[in-house]
Structure 1
Amino acid sequence: MHLPLWSFHRNPPMPHRVVVGMGLALTAMFLNGVGHAQTYVKIDPQGQPHWASHPTGPDYQFTQIGAIKPPVSNPGTEAKRDQPLAQQRALIEAQAVRPLVEHISQRHGMDPALVLALIDVESSFNPRAVSPKGARGLMQLMPDTARAYGMRDPRELHIPEKNLDFGIRHLKDLLQAHNNNWALTLAAYNAGRNAVQRHGMRIPAYNETLIYVPSVLARVDRHRVRPSQPD
């Protein structure tokens, strides 16, 4: 399929609604049922990422925008997720956790759609997810991060209520630290607050982070609408 030439340029700070709109322009056309988007990215001398559908210069490198599948403790889990029964289970898990996300997000003054989009990318709503680095649960929190919010036992991170409370408070702190800039907040959540600071309060030039930020943003509006119940 031939795609029209487009580009996306992040120049923080921006209002989060503008950032979401730009993220959607970059990714939504590819993420609604058509899988991954092939795209190109370059980092300019100021450390800002530029995306394009076709390489417009020698500095552009190939990457992909799409669903980021979370690493889990059981390698067979991801294969099962691709099966129809497991996909239905994932949808049921998403619907089951949504009221909790809405309740805890509202308690902490956060947008539930942003939290749901982040969980979608981080764990596909799997509360049992564990990454090789030790990030756990719905919001893929590291135990050291969660301890700052009152976690006493890493097993608590597999309890949805606790994982959401720790994770949403952490996300809120990052949002406040980055002047309510959603893109920088998500970059800090993925790569770490220090990484954003080291890059001059810009999105770090890490391939995973360059994929992660627009992938979350592209899902925000999708999660503002309640999904229909599975048959």
Structure 2
Amino acid sequence: MRIRALLPLLASGLALAGAARAELWGYVDGAGVAHVAARPLNSRYSLVLGTPSAEQGRVPGKQDGSQGLLTWLEFAPEVKSVQPWLREAARRHGVDMELLKAIITVESGFKADAVSPRGAVGLMQIMAPAEQAARLLDPRANVHAGAAQLARLIKRFGRIDVALAAWNAGEGRVARHGGQMPPIPETQAHVHLVLELYWALLQRSLPAQARQLRIHSS
């Protein structure tokens, strides 16, 4: 259910929130809960009904600088060609498809034949012995191998950000820092980029999955 589909149910909620104008802000969280309020309570909220006042303006959220990239991810042929494998891998390994898509975007830009100077291969830039590298140039095999590896890292470290740090810097470095984010600028920047894009992709996909509604007082 999209947030806009919930609007007929929100008139009383807006009154309770003390809205002086027909204006509604909201977002859908990772659990599929739609949060709505009469004003943006933080940067996660975006306008879903009405026009923001001049003095209030639009609070810049995490999506604001990424609309062009999100549009490219929605329509690019190289992205569409691997969508079936992304869905398949997400179901099989229990990893969000949006997270897989964010990692691939940052790692390889959806270039299935990408090989880094260090020998990382394919869409998800997986390190592998030379005898396995050719197999990982196959998009389906690469996505499944990457999703399985990511699922294992999330299970081991218990947090997506730390799992992404282990993906970038290696499990050993993360383990040596007590299972926390290591103080490596390159790794921290990598994790930040992936999570920013993951958030934007979730915000675009989760409204269709919202099953609960929370109205927040201003």
Q: Do the aligned residues in 2 keep the contact of 1:105 with 1:111 (CA within 8 Å)?
A: yes
User: Hey, what's the Cα distance between the residues in 2 that align with 1:27 and 1:212?
Assistant: 20
Residue identity opposite 1:183 in structure 2: D
> Is the alpha carbon distance of 1:34 and 1:115 closer, same or farther for their aligned partners in structure 2, counting shifts above 3 Å?
closer
Gaps of 5+ in 1: 1-15, 36-86, 227-231
Is 1:190 the equivalent of 2:180?
no
Name the structure 2 match of 1:76. Answer: none
Name the structure 1 match of 2:16. Answer: none
Tell me how far 1:207 sits from its aligned partner: 1.4
Name the structure 2 match of 1:121. Answer: 106
Name the structure 2 match of 1:92. Answer: 77
Tell me how far 1:206 sits from its aligned partner: 1.1
Gaps of 5+ in 2: 1-28, 32-41, 46-59, 206-218
Name the structure 2 match of 1:153. Answer: 132
TM-score by length of 2: 0.59
1:31-46 equivalences under 5 Å are 31-32=65-66
Name the structure 2 match of 1:83. Answer: none
Bigger relative CO (Cα 8 Å, ≥ 6 apart): 2
Tell me how far 1:221 sits from its aligned partner: 3.6
Is 1:171 the equivalent of 2:150?
yes
Pick aligned residue for 2:93 from 94, 103, 108: 108
User: Hey, what's the Cα distance between the residues in 2 that align with 1:17 and 1:204?
Assistant: 25
How many residues of Structure 1 are paired with residues of Structure 2 in the alignment? 149
**Pairwise CA RMSD of aligned residues?**
3.2
Residue identity opposite 2:62 in structure 1: A
Residue identity opposite 1:212 in structure 2: H
Stretch deviating more after TM superposition (25-34 or 159-168): 25-34
Stretch deviating more after TM superposition (122-131 or 200-209): 200-209
User: Hey, what's the Cα distance between the residues in 2 that align with 1:127 and 1:34?
Assistant: 21
1:100 partner SS: helix
1:1-231 equivalences under 5 Å are 28=62, 31-32=65-66, 91-144=76-129, 153-179=132-158, 181-224=159-202, 225=204
> Is the alpha carbon distance of 1:131 and 1:111 closer, same or farther for their aligned partners in structure 2, counting shifts above 3 Å?
same
User: Hey, what's the Cα distance between the residues in 2 that align with 1:24 and 1:173?
Assistant: 29
User: Hey, what's the Cα distance between the residues in 1 that align with 2:43 and 2:188?
Assistant: 11
- How big is each residue's C-alpha offset from its partner over 1:55-94, in whole Å with a ceiling of 9 and x where there is no partner? xxxxxxxxxxxxxxxxxxxxxxxxxxxxxxxx89x92101
Task: List 4+ stretches of structure 1 deviating above 6 A.
Answer: 22-27
Q: Percent identity?
A: 32
Q: Do the aligned residues in 2 keep the contact of 1:24 with 1:214 (CA within 8 Å)?
A: no
TM-score by length of 1: 0.56
> Is the alpha carbon distance of 1:160 and 1:198 closer, same or farther for their aligned partners in structure 2, counting shifts above 3 Å?
same
Tell me how far 1:31 sits from its aligned partner: 3.6
